[in-house]
Structure 1
Amino acid sequence: MPDPQLARTRLVAQSLTTRPHDNPHAAVAALLAMQGQDLPGVIASAALRTRSGDVDDVLAELCAGRLVRGYPMRGTVFLMAAADVLWVSELCAAPALRAAANRRHHLGLDQAKVDRARELAVEVLSVEPNGLPRSEFLARWEADGQPTAGGVGYHLLAHLIGEGTLCHGAWNGTDQNIAWTRTWVPEGSDLAGTFNGDRTAGIAELLRRYLVGHGPATIRDFAWWTKLPLRDIRAALPEATMDLEDDGADEPSYWRAGLLDEVAAVGKDASRPLLLPGFDEFILGYQDRTFAMTAEQEVLLVPGRNGVFRRSVVVDGAVKGFWRRAGRPGSRTLEVEAFTPIPAATQAGLERLFGSFPVVTD
């Protein structure tokens, strides 16, 4: 069943009701990673956690190389601070990379072709410090004799990004360029440079950051989010939680110190209406989403279980329905599909939020 108090607390932890961050880099780093296969959506998610709420600030961070997208865990693309993408990928990406490699023969790929794709990628991008648009980059593989249609190009890109060779970098007006990480992310930001190769210390930092940005949450939430083994997480738990608060349960939830006082200070503002992008971490940051909706409503969140999450209308910490941008470019209107009728005052608030929603392109 939905838990309004837990939901409101997580909204504050995730900076959605307080918007404390001066810039998108700080907002993203606070959550460690934001699921990012919907690029306009994750750009909006980052903007919604900043004081300005300005989408241009997010695009500027992408172009400055402070924010990138990678495939650090679960075989899924995430928006991250550039200094975090390599060490997190080293900790978490291997299972997804192995699973994808086992399917490689269906695409007509072998290790020699992957190695050649990597070699050419580095050769091309080493002289393109801002990277190349995806279509131009894939054309270089095609010209070298490596077909990219039928999912082959996607597989090669996901593999090279997951292993840390490439990343999604600068914004080019419609998408992010493909960039070589050596020229795009901070030097020494791998596991060796950041934690002297200490895997447990890296997991402790990863766990601490997750709990600070997403808590109250459990280590099982974190294990689902990262797909790291529970035995490795438990080894890192004492270091990760030494400055956190918990509820003392047999399987405790943890959160950042002072969070409950923040929620009390925010008061009714933690209940105010929100329009969220489809893949926002408030919805996707936890395995069990019924803290914010019923099980029946969760089925409606992903119609047909096709992996595409709808945009949520959140009121008082609960998902009350879904929304979309109806109409044509230049004359968009808010269209809400509510579970139950929404009061007129709440609807008026949603209209105001829609007018200021951080949209990348119309």
Structure 2
Amino acid sequence: MTYHEISLYRLFSQKLLETSPSSPQEIVHHLGAMQAQDYGMAKWAIGSRCGATEKEIEEAINSAQIIRTHILRPTWHFVAAEDIYWMLDLSGPQVQKMTISSAKKYDYDSKKLDQTNSKIEKLLAGNNHLTREEIMQELDIKKSSSQDFLGANIMMHAELEGLVCNGKMKGKQITYALLEERVKKPKTKLTKEEGLAKLAKRYFESHGPATLLDFSWWSGFSPTICNAVINAIKLQLNCIEIEDKIYYYGNQPFINYHLNKNIHYLPAFDEILISYKTREASILLEHQSKAFTNNGIFKPIIMENSKVVGTWKRSYKKDHVKIETEFFNETEMSKKAILFEGIKAFENYLENKIIIE
């Protein structure tokens, strides 16, 4: 297996080679957790894999089929409702250490955070969905740059405790609601070992071929823990060694697609790049600084035949959406016309006219 084949297989395992008939919730469940700090782009990450429109995905989020919360690494993720509790049980405690440490800078220790959670629970009880600003006003936390960091810490702590998650959108504003009012709590819990095994199997089946360090990066667990869990489920996975690295992937049958027209316009922070520690299989080293920065900002990307060839951005106009592209190498207009075909999926998703400039 070559790097090209690894990248092609990842497109397959991430359900990008063909638009899947799956629902938005099924796509999120398949991938385990999808990075979602850029809310608009994160919705397109789902839509690019199943053909659903933005409105349909928004409805799945508003109806709590898909939950947006902090989980795994300390960032926003989309998680399927059926996975939210066991994933929080598994990863919440380790991410919580970071939020508690950060909150101490504002004189909020664990006791004070717990007291604040009690107040938040009372505020949101009865399916009361409030924005963070509304919650902070009720907590008498003034709006300022430093207090905004405190507010983010308070709400992240509440999320990781399993108290709150995203509520229904209030216009264009994101709200919080009580998790147990959105998703019924299961009667049984997984052990930590069971949770780790489930998370690892889900990752390699939906993101493979990937390495131990890729899984460690994505999950937030140490390489030592990840190595132990991979050894525990190794018989349930396939593996291959390339340049002294072992890549693990699922047992699902793979059709070796050789498509001349394999073009994808993918969102910022898409799993196809961000879920791996190193990304050389999908993007040449000399182009990586054009697609993502050292401090973790990822741009929307254009992929052709499983390789990143450029970036794009969109802006909303009165009666259309404008798309601007930037290719890494000089590209002839005839070639661009072929590459521009890939944006039609985004046009269908938005249900809006797209003009490329």
Normalising to structure 2: TM-score of the pair? Answer: 0.88
**Is 1:332 equivalent to 2:321 in the alignment?**
yes
Query: Which residue in 1 is equivalent to 2:30?
Result: 30
Structure 1: runs of 5 or more not aligned: none
Does the CA-based 8 Å contact 1:167-1:178 persist in structure 2? yes
Greater alpha carbon shift after TM alignment, 324-333 vs 64-73:
324-333
Deviation at residue 242 of structure 1 after TM alignment = 3.1
Give matches, 1:1-362, under 5 Å.
3-50=3-50, 52-127=51-126, 129=127, 131-142=129-140, 146-147=141-142, 149=144, 150=146, 151-188=149-186, 193-195=188-190, 198-247=191-240, 251-259=245-253, 261-262=254-255, 264=256, 266-268=257-259, 272-303=262-293, 305-326=294-315, 328-342=317-331, 343-358=335-350
Does the CA-based 8 Å contact 1:126-1:180 persist in structure 2? yes
Secondary structure of 2:76's match? strand
Secondary structure of 1:268's match? coil
Deviation at residue 176 of structure 1 after TM alignment = 3.4
Does the CA-based 8 Å contact 1:53-1:358 persist in structure 2? no
Does the CA-based 8 Å contact 2:103-2:109 persist in structure 1? yes
Deviation at residue 218 of structure 1 after TM alignment = 1.9
RMSD between superposed Cα atoms in Å: 2.4
Q: Distance in 1 between matches of 2:222 and 2:336?
A: 48
Deviation at residue 238 of structure 1 after TM alignment = 4.6
Residue type matched to 1:24 in 2? P
Q: Distance in 1 between matches of 2:82 and 2:115?
A: 27
Q: Distance in 1 between matches of 2:10 and 2:128?
A: 36
Deviation at residue 230 of structure 1 after TM alignment = 3.1
* Gap change, CA 1:83 and 1:332, over 3 Å in 2: same
Residue type matched to 1:292 in 2? S
Does the CA-based 8 Å contact 2:53-2:348 persist in structure 1? no
Deviation at residue 132 of structure 1 after TM alignment = 2.2
Does the CA-based 8 Å contact 1:130-1:170 persist in structure 2? no
Structure 2: runs of 5 or more not aligned: none
Does the CA-based 8 Å contact 1:275-1:312 persist in structure 2? yes
Deviation at residue 226 of structure 1 after TM alignment = 1.3
Deviation at residue 344 of structure 1 after TM alignment = 3.5
Which has the higher relative contact order, 1 or 2, with Cα contacts under 8 A spaced 6 or more apart? 1
Deviation at residue 85 of structure 1 after TM alignment = 2.1
Residue type matched to 2:103 in 1? R
Normalising to structure 1: TM-score of the pair? Answer: 0.87
**CA-to-partner distance for each residue in 1:253-305, whole Å, 9 max, x for gaps?**
2212134x33x2x4317x511101101100111010111112221112234x3
Secondary structure of 1:228's match? coil
**CA-to-partner distance for each residue in 1:306-347, whole Å, 9 max, x for gaps?**
432111011111111100114634233221111013313423
Aligned identity (percent) is 22
Does the CA-based 8 Å contact 2:66-2:78 persist in structure 1? yes
Residue type matched to 1:202 in 2? G
Deviation at residue 55 of structure 1 after TM alignment = 1.4
Deviation at residue 148 of structure 1 after TM alignment = 5.4
Q: Distance in 1 between matches of 2:131 and 2:177?
A: 9
* Gap change, CA 1:26 and 1:147, over 3 Å in 2: same
The count of aligned residue pairs is 345
* Gap change, CA 1:251 and 1:294, over 3 Å in 2: closer
